[in-house]
C-alpha cells in the first residue's frame, strides 16, 4: 500500500527529507567576533536548537548582533554568506 499526499508518495517525501538533512549537516552557521570564531555548528543543529530553545536562541542572536558579532552561513562549496549583508540587501529591495 502506497500513501500519497497531494501527488507525492511517502518514499519521495522520505528521500527529500534525507537530502535536506544531509544538506543541513553540510551547511554551517558561524558566529565570529573579530578573528575569533564563537560558534560553528551545522544548520540542522541550529534549527533543532531554535525549535527547542526558541526564546533563548533569539536572545543569543540579538546579543551577538548587539555585541558586534558577525553571523555567517557557510555552504557546502565553502562559500561564506554574510547574514547582515543579506538582510541589508533584502531590506533595500523591499524599500525600492
Q: Could you read off the pLDDT of 36-88 as tens digits, one per residue? A: 999 898 888 888 888 899 899 888 888 888 888 998 888 888 888 888 888 78
The pLDDT, as a whole number, for residue 8 is 62
Domain encompassing residue 56: 27-95
In a domain? residue 89:
yes
In a domain? residue 31:
yes
In a domain? residue 53:
yes
Decide the pairing of beta strands 4-5 and 8-9.
antiparallel
In a domain? residue 48:
yes
Round the average pLDDT of the chain to a whole number and report it.
Answer: 81
In a domain? residue 10:
no
Q: In total, how many domains does the chain have? A: 1
In a domain? residue 15:
no
Residue 2 has pLDDT above 80, yes or no: no
Per residue in 14-37, pLDDT (tens digit) is: 777 777 777 766 788 899 999 899
In a domain? residue 42:
yes
Its pTM stands at: 0.64
Buried/exposed code over 68-85 (b: 16+ C-beta within 10 A; e: otherwise): ebbbbbbeeeeeeeebee
Tell me which residue of 38, 45, 96 sits closest to 72, measured CA to CA.
Answer: 38
Amino acid at each position: 500500500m502506497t500513501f500519497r499526499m497531494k501527488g507525492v508518495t511517502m518514499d519521495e517525501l522520505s528521500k527529500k527529507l534525507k537530502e535536506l538533512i544531509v544538506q543541513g549537516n553540510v551547511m554551517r552557521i558561524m558566529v565570529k567576533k573579530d578573528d575569533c570564531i564563537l560558534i560553528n555548528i551545522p544548520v540542522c543543529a541550529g534549527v533543532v536548537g531554535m525549535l527547542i530553545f526558541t526564546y533563548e536562541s533569539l536572545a543569543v542572536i540579538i546579543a551577538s548582533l548587539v555585541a558586534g558579532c558577525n553571523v555567517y552561513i557557510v555552504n557546502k562549496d565553502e562559500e561564506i554568506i554574510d547574514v547582515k549583508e543579506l538582510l541589508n540587501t533584502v531590506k533595500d529591495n523591499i524599500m525600492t
